[in-house]
A and B are shown apart, each in its own frame.
Chain A
Amino acid sequence: MLTSGVVLLAGSLLTPNPGLIFWTAVTFVIVLVILRKVAWGPIISALEEREKGIQSSIDRAHQAKEESEAILRKNRELLSKADADADRIIREGKEYAEKLRAEITEKAQEESKKMIAAAVDSIDQEKRRALDVLRNEVADLAVKGAEKIIRTALDADLQKKIVNSMIQDLSSKRN
């Protein structure tokens, strides 16, 4: 144990060794230069590229999420708008149909009234015409009867009586 102390005091462990310092410096510098070129350059650039790639992927994912959310919102808006539109169209259709129905009904009623009026008119006309025809017929008949009578017996009084009674008959029959 004493000798180890002697060795330490002699400074063996802490003696400067210029040769080792020289070789360490040379070796370290060479290793630094080689590794910088061979390893650190490619590795660090690859890592940085990957970091950028990851960042851009995250950014893109966020962007895509935002975009899809915007699209969803827009779709919802469109859907609600379409719903409202459909409601409005149905309502309008119903209103229109209602109106149309009312109009048609009104028109039909008017038409029917008009037709009824026309029918009444034509019935009156027909009645009048039939009466005219009847009157002519009756007059003809009367003339024919008179002719017959005149041909068979030209007795003035009798004839007068006959004519009168016939007229009377006719008129009573008519009424």
Chain B
Amino acid sequence: MKRSNLIQPKALFRVFAIMVPLLLNFSGGVAASAAQHEVSVKVEASVPEASAAHGGEAEAETPGVVIMHHVMDSHEFAFEPFGAIELPKMSIPASVPFLGGLDISITKRVVMLWIVAVALVLVFTIVGSRYKVMGSRKAPSGIANTMEALVQFIRLDVSKANIGHGFEKHTPFLLTVFMFILFCNLFGLIPYGSTATGDINVTLTLAVFTFFVIQIASVKAHGIVGFLKHLTVGTHWALWIIMVPIEIIGLFTKPFALTVRLFANMTAGHIVILSLIFISFIMKSYVAAAVVSVPFATFIYLLEIFVAFLQAFIFTMLTSLFIGLATAHEGGHDEHNTAAAHH
């Protein structure tokens, strides 16, 4: 009994030691050929997409290309290995003024945006109708309670805390931005999905909305004259030639920072997960898959769920902070310092 107990771990260790080189494909064994087969299937499946995305250009199917293809927009909604749905390509007729000839093809990201929009409208129609029925005397439950926690957080801790006076006007915009980004981020984590907020065009558009909201709030709070005076930061007129351009650049850096932050965060997470998965293909090894790829990718995936909330919060938080700074009535200098500290 005692002996067998001593021997068994040793025997197992020996078996493992023999298996490792096999699995790691040092001698080109059976396991390795299986791994190779997997990779080749994968490569074959993604060849048509790659050619579609790059206009039929014959390109080597390296992991880098696959990853880049994954984090980019495409004209089809692929469900590997079940096939793909071709999405319609279209453009605004040339006769329409201003926007004539604009390519408005329905891409994968547009479909994701619409899925998110439908989900948002569905969820919040349910929640809103619950509140209409419920009245103020009863406590919310279920989905209404869940959403109330988020709504209260954005309303009080983000909107009210940063904007202060007159925060009610901006709360709906902030709530929508938060929920929109959050849902985009989370839907991007579902397999076959695509993160709409991982596209710089989407984040840019959201940041442009933010930019306009900030400037309109500023003009409303100070008037046109006050807004222009704000650009001089109350310095001597001789310094205006330096201060005014800096302030004007400052107006644009805020939304630019928002754009890049959200885009980069969402894209980076996906690239990291895919890179970790590709480690097993590059090494052509099940051990690498079991020891590195799957656990690390799972960890990053969980981290991504957190990042989805975090980035939605940061975008909303900074938006409300900028609105608060733009509408603040007292003291021009401290607010610029705090804004600078956040960049």
Listed in ascending order, the chain A residues whose CB lies under 8 Å from chain B are 1-5, 7-8, 12-14, 16-25, 27-28, 30-32, 34-36, 38-44, 46-47, 49-50, 52-53
Minimum CB–CB distance for A10 against chain B, Å: 9
CB-defined contacts of B168 to chain A, threshold 8 Å: 44
Q: How many A-B residue pairs have CB under 8 A?
A: 144
Complex Cα distance, B267 from A17, in Å, reads: 17
In the complex, the answer to whether B136 meets A53 with C-beta atoms within 8 Å is: yes
Other-chain residue from B64, B107, B120, B132 in contact with A42 (beta carbon distance below 8 A): B132
Contact B136 A20 (CB under 8 A): no
**Residues of chain B contacted by A42 (CB below 8 angstroms):** 128-129, 131-132
13 new A-B contacts, CB < 8 A, other than A4-B64, A35-B176, are: A2-B64, A3-B68, A7-B64, A14-B200, A17-B73, A24-B201, A24-B202, A41-B172, A42-B132, A43-B147, A44-B171, A44-B172, A49-B136
Q: How far is the CB of A44 from chain B (nearest CB, A)?
A: 7
Query: Looking at the complex, which of B18-26, B110-118, B234-242 is the stretch in contact with chain A?
Result: B110-118
CB of A97 to closest CB in B, whole Å: 65
Q: How large is the interface on B (under 10, 10 to 19, 20 to 34, 35 or more residues)?
A: 35 or more
State which of A27, A32, A35, A53 has its C-beta within 8 Å of the C-beta of B113: A27
Known pairs A20-B202, A46-B131, A47-B155; A35 contacts B103 (CB<8 A): no
Distance, CA A8 to CA B106, complexed state (A): 23
The answer, yes or no, to whether B246 is at the interface (CB within 8 Å) is: no
* Neighbour of B201 across the interface among A17, A36, A44, CB < 8 A: A17
Interface of B is mostly: helix
Contact of A38 among B124, B151, B200 (CB under 8 A): B124
CA A52 – CA B106 in complex, angstroms?
47
B146 interface contact, C-beta 8 A:
no
Would you call A28 and B209 a contact (CB within 8 A)? yes
Do B136 and A22 have beta carbons less than 8 Å apart? no
CB of A31 within 8 A of CB of B136, answer no
In-complex Cβ contact of B107 among A5, A19, A40, A49 (8 A): A19
Are A43 and B128 interface neighbours, CB within 8 A?
A: yes
| Nearest-neighbor residue (CB-CB) of B200 within chain A | A14
B258 at the interface (CB under 8 A from A): no
Within 8 Å CB of B120, what residues of A?
Answer: 31, 35
Q: Nearest CB to that of B53 among chain A residues?
A: A12
19 contacts between A and B (CB under 8 A): A3-B62, A4-B64, A4-B68, A7-B68, A12-B68, A13-B267, A17-B201, A18-B103, A18-B104, A20-B199, A21-B202, A22-B99, A24-B206, A31-B180, A35-B176, A43-B128, A44-B172, A47-B152, A50-B136
Checking B64, B68, B136, B151 against A13 with a beta-carbon cut-off of 8 angstroms, the contacting residue is B68
B179 proximal to A (CB < 8 A): yes
A155→B39 CA distance, assembly (Å) = 201
- For window 236-295 of B, CB contacts with A under 8 Å fall at 267
**B124→A39 contact, CB < 8 A:** yes
Pair A38/B125 contact, Cβ less than 8 Å: yes
Per-position 1/0 for B84-114, Cβ under 8 A of A: 0000000100000001001111110110011
Tell me if B305 is interfacial: C-beta within 8 Å of chain A: no
